[in-house]
Amino acid sequence: MNIAIVTINQEHAAMAGWLAAQDFSGSTLTHWQIEPQPMVAEQVLDALVEQWQRTPAEVVLFPPGAFGDELSTRLAWRLHGAS
């Protein structure tokens, strides 16, 4: 399984703790970094779609919070997936 982890401004401590507790043996982890944090999600959605086309992932993990929620929902809509 290919898993992409999206982080914003290198703020990935919360996700790192969660990932450390999981067993992803047999999975390929990819890191998609957004820097600096945009004011609105629209500013990075095209770049995320392009990144997904270059390195498709079956699962994309976003940082917790309102911005991560918005990114996941809007990217899922663009890729015809689910958030």
Mean pLDDT of 61-68: 87
pLDDT at residue 76, rounded to an integer: 94
Give pLDDT, residue 79: 92
Domain ranges of the chain: 2-78
Position 28 scores a pLDDT of: 83
Give this prediction's pTM. 0.79
Judge whether 71 and 42 are in contact, CB under 8 Å: no
Rounded distance between C-alpha atoms, residue 78 and residue 55, angstroms:
16
Phi and psi (nearest 5°) for 62?
Answer: -110, 155
Compute CA distances 15 → 12, 46, 83, whole Å.
Answer: 5, 24, 17
Q: What is the pLDDT of residues 2-58, one digit of tens each?
A: 888 888 876 666 676 677 677 777 888 888 888 877 888 888 999 999 999 999 999
The pLDDT-based confidence of 71 (bands split at 50, 70, 90) is very high
